[in-house]
Chain A
Amino acid sequence: MDDATLLSEARRGDEVAFAALYQRHRTPVFRFAWRFLGSTDAAEDVTQECFLALFAGAAFDPKHGLLRTYLFGIARHLAMRRMRIEERESEEPTDAPANYDTLGDLIGQERSAVVESAVNALPPLQKEALILFEYEDCSLEEIAQIAGVEVGAVKARLHRARETLKRRLAPLVEPRAQSGPARRTL
């Protein structure tokens, strides 16, 4: 059963349709929120609010895109709002540099933690574009729809994010053959 049918049945109170739709989309939404906000609690809150907003009658139109894209749009809005609130409440600067500037710092850290710090240190708009493109396999057009900008703006954000990360993560590159996933270019 397609997403639009499940959504309309869930909105009429069908719990089975709700469960099916939730199971289908909860993991990508949670993953995106978790990577964007860096907190499991915050990501769970955003995921819950995202699905409740969807079932409460948010204006999804299947003619204008996939439900996945629409859900990412809601999650992005909620995550941005939460981040702004946290920034207002926090006295620390939001653009603090990552704490692994020297090779010595790198040695004691897990590689994944280093990557996490590097991504989290990106500006929010670059970070969301990078997460959606690299981790959620969204197309440039989907990201543009989610962020409400032109595709060119998404390309620019991704380019800047990649350049920053290449610089910051350079110490992690080992002189060995890499067998990464299939190539995706802008």
Chain B
Amino acid sequence: MEDDELRGILREWEAPEPSPAMDAKVHAAWRGAYPSFWKRVWTARVSIPVPVLAALLMIAALLLLKFGMVRPIEVAPAAAGGYVTQGSAAGFQPVPNGEARVITVQEAR
């Protein structure tokens, strides 16, 4: 048998085409290995040593205190020359005819 004859016979053995199921499987596996950008962002993990984390938290707390996120309670300045008391009678209505009467709590309700 010559080489060309052998080659002709060998070519009678044909391979099937890859199935769509395999394509879907490979695509799914690839997506699992390479998720989208946002999925990677949401599932990202950062490993940090505890002392570094503690130092960062302390720095953050100091910065918050210094730059006014927690403001000290402001005290009103004292008026010059002592205390001033102000009052107002707006909306006051006197008892009609000056008839005052003592009532109990039950009556008031």
Interface residues of A (CB under 8 A from B): 10, 13, 15, 18-19, 22, 26-27, 30-31, 34-35, 40, 44, 47-48, 51-52, 55-56, 111-112, 115-116, 119, 130, 134-135, 162, 165-166, 169-170, 172-173, 178-181, 183-185
Tell whether B29 is near chain A: CB-to-CB under 8 Å.
Answer: yes
Does B16 have its Cβ within 8 Å of any Cβ on chain A?
yes
In the complex, the chain A residue whose C-beta lies closest to that of B31 is A15
B6-A162 in contact (CB<8A): yes
Whether the pair A35, B5 counts as a contact (CB closer than 8 A) is: no
Nearest chain B CB to A119 CB, angstrom units: 7
Q: B31 and A178: CB pair below 8 A?
A: no
Q: Is the interface of B mostly helix, strand, loop or mixed?
A: helix
Residues of B within 8 A of A56 (CB): 33
Give the nearest-CB partner of A180 in chain B. Answer: B8
18 more A-B contacts (CB under 8 A) besides A48-B26, A112-B13, A115-B12? A13-B34, A26-B26, A31-B15, A35-B15, A40-B16, A52-B30, A55-B33, A56-B33, A115-B13, A119-B10, A134-B7, A135-B10, A162-B3, A173-B9, A178-B4, A180-B4, A181-B8, A184-B7
